[in-house]
Amino acid sequence: MSAAVAPSAPPEPAAMPSHFGQQQTPVTGVPVPINVADKRVPKKTPGRWSTDLCHCCHDVSSCCLTCWCPCVTFGRIAEIVDRGSTSCGVSGVLYAMMLCLTGCSCLYSCFYRPKLRGQYFLDESPCTDCCVHCCCETCALCQEYRELKNQGFDMSLGWHGNMERQKRKAAAFPPSVQQSMQR
């Protein structure tokens, strides 16, 4: 008599999708088995920022926005980096309060740079994130703003607006269905 399988037991290996535990080789795109139990799963190596820290004049409009209203720039960055969980307004107001009460708004904004770097696999350069924000807050915010714009975000739309825009683009260009070969 066979014992019943507990409901929390993992499915048998044959029930797993064919791509489970595989990665594609970068050149051919052919699935290659990997050891799922191995904790040393290959990680993407950090890359370069799309613009350098002091290239503020490459985007004059964001440079001016950051110089005169850094709370708006930071709020927009925070909303995108937090993927809509915090609004531009809330983050911007908190930033402005830190700036007015302590004069050290960099103590708040420096926590978003590592989040941004983690999401887009960017180098921690030219020095540590806190040093960048403490020494050159305006340049750091400008660079982060430009990076998100270069990643394809329309910063004025916020997270939810960008997601709606992406859905509209996907609906306008549905994936093409390949026809099967016929004789």
Summary mean pLDDT of the chain: 78
Query: What are the DSSP calls for 37-77, one per residue?
Result: T-S----PPPB--SS-TT-GGGSHHHHHHHHH-HHHHHHHH
Closest listed residue to residue 115, CA positions, set 83, 160, 73, 149: 83
110 pLDDT more than 50? yes
102 pLDDT band, cuts 50/70/90, is: very high
Q: What average pLDDT does the segment 80-88 reach?
A: 94
pLDDT tens readout for residues 3-54: 554 444 444 444 444 444 444 444 444 444 444 444 444 455 678 888 888 8
Q: Cβ distance 126 to 53 under 8 Å?
A: yes
Please enumerate in sequence order all residues whose Cβ is within 8 A of that of 83, keeping only pairs 6 or more positions apart, or say none: 159
DSSP 6: P
176 pLDDT band, cuts 50/70/90, is: low
**Residue 178 vs residue 148, higher pLDDT:** 148
Closest listed residue to residue 70, CA positions, set 29, 42, 51, 98: 98
162 pLDDT band, cuts 50/70/90, is: very high
**Residue 119 vs residue 24, higher pLDDT:** 119
The Cα-based distances of 118 to 25, 121, 128 in angstroms read 23, 5, 14
Buried b (16+ CB within 10 A) or exposed e, 27-60: eeeeeeeeeeeeeeeeeeeeeebbbebeebeebe
Give residue 3's identity as a one-letter amino acid code.
A
pTM of the model: 0.69
Residue 47: its pLDDT value, please?
Answer: 83
